[in-house]
Amino acid sequence: MIWKRVDNSMMNIGIDAGGTLIKVACKKNDSLEFNKLPVSQLEHAASWINGLDRADICVTGGKAALLKSLLKNKAAEIVEFTATSNGVRYLLEKNAISEKAYILTNVGTGTSIHYVENSREQRIGGTGVGGGTIMGLSRLLTGLTDYEAIVSLSAKGSRDRIDLKVSHIYEGAVPPIPGDLTASNFANVLSLDSIDQLTKEELLACVIGLVGETVATTSVLAAGQCGVSTIIFIGSSFIGNDLLKEVVQSYTKLRGASPIFLENGEYCGAIGACLQLSGH
C-alpha cells in the first residue's frame, strides 16, 4: 500500500509513470503528499488505485498507457511535457520564485530540455545521458545495481586519476581556460600503467561527473540559444545525489548561467497531472 486511508474523503491523484520510477502526488484537503516506487511495482500501484473508492486519477509519463490498462476505472491523461511544466510553475509559486522565462532540464532516465516562457513550453532537445546512464555505466564498471550504494560510494571518490583535465594537457603552462575543467572524461586512464588499482569510488565519481557535465553543458547551450540565463533542474536523478547536483551546479555557473534546483522537483509530472484534475 502506498498510503493508508485515514478517512473516506475525496482524493485527486496524479501519477507520473516513467521509465525507472512511478511518482505519485496525492491532493487531499488542499495539501499535496508525495510518494514514489520503482516501475517494476506498476501492478502494485494499480492494485492500490483499484482499491480506492473515492479518487480521481490522472496519469502521465511513458508507462501511462500501461498503467491505465491495469485500472478498473477510467483515468484522465495529460501529455508528460505539459504536466511537468505545470508542476514546475506550481513549485516556483509555492517557493516564491519569480521566473517567467527559463530553460527546464528534466534529468530522469534520460534528459529532456525545454524552453518555458510564461505559460508556454517548448521541448527544444535533450540527451540520452541521464540517470539511466548512471545506472548502466555503474553496473558495467563496478557490477553495482543499487542506486543508493552507487550514490553513496561516488561521493567518496576522486576523479583525478581517471578524468583528463585541461591542466593535464597544459602541464607546465598557463591554460587559456580554467585548468580544472574536464578536457576528456575517462581519458586520463590511458596514461596509467595499470587500471587494476582503480577503486569503485573513483569509477563511480567519474560516471556522475560525465553525466553532470553533459547535462549542464547541454542546458547552458540551450539557454544561450533561447536568450535566457536561468536553468531549472528537476528529475529523479537528483534524489539523494548531492555529487550530481554539485557537478551540475558548478559547471552551469562556470559557463555563465544560473541554476535552480527545486525541492520535490522529481514530482513535477505527478503534480501537473494532479493539478489537471482541479482545472489548474
Active-site residues, by number, are: 80
pLDDT score of 28: 76
pLDDT score of 119: 79
Report CA 167 to chain centroid distance, whole Å. 31
Q: How many CB atoms lie within 10 A of CB 181?
A: 14
C-alpha cell, 99: 521566473
* Nearest residue to 59 via CA among 33, 44, 37, 78: 78
Q: How far apart are CA 234 and CA 208, in angstroms?
A: 16
pLDDT score of 106: 95
C-alpha cell, 178: 580554467
Single-letter residue type at 148: E
Extended strands (E) in 108-200: 111-117, 120-127, 164-165, 182-184
- Tell me the mean pLDDT per 10 residues along the chain, length 280: 54 90 87 90 91 89 93 92 93 91 95 92 94 97 96 96 90 82 93 92 98 97 96 95 96 94 95 85
Residue 9's Cβ-count burial label (10 Å; 0-12, 13-18, 19+) is: exposed
C-alpha cell, 52: 480506492
pLDDT score of 173: 86
How wide is the angle at C-alpha 275 spanned by C-alphas 64 and 40, nearest 5°? 30
Yes or no: say if 271 and 16 are a contact pair by the CB < 8 Å rule. no
pLDDT score of 1: 46
pTM of the complete model beyond 0.85:
yes
pLDDT score of 280: 60
Map out the domains of the chain with their CATH numbers: 11-81+268-278 (3.30.420.40), 131-157+199-261 (3.30.420.40)
pLDDT score of 179: 80
pLDDT score of 88: 95
* Nearest residue to 34 via CA among 77, 105, 96, 87: 87
Q: How far apart are CA 251 and CA 153, in angstroms?
A: 22
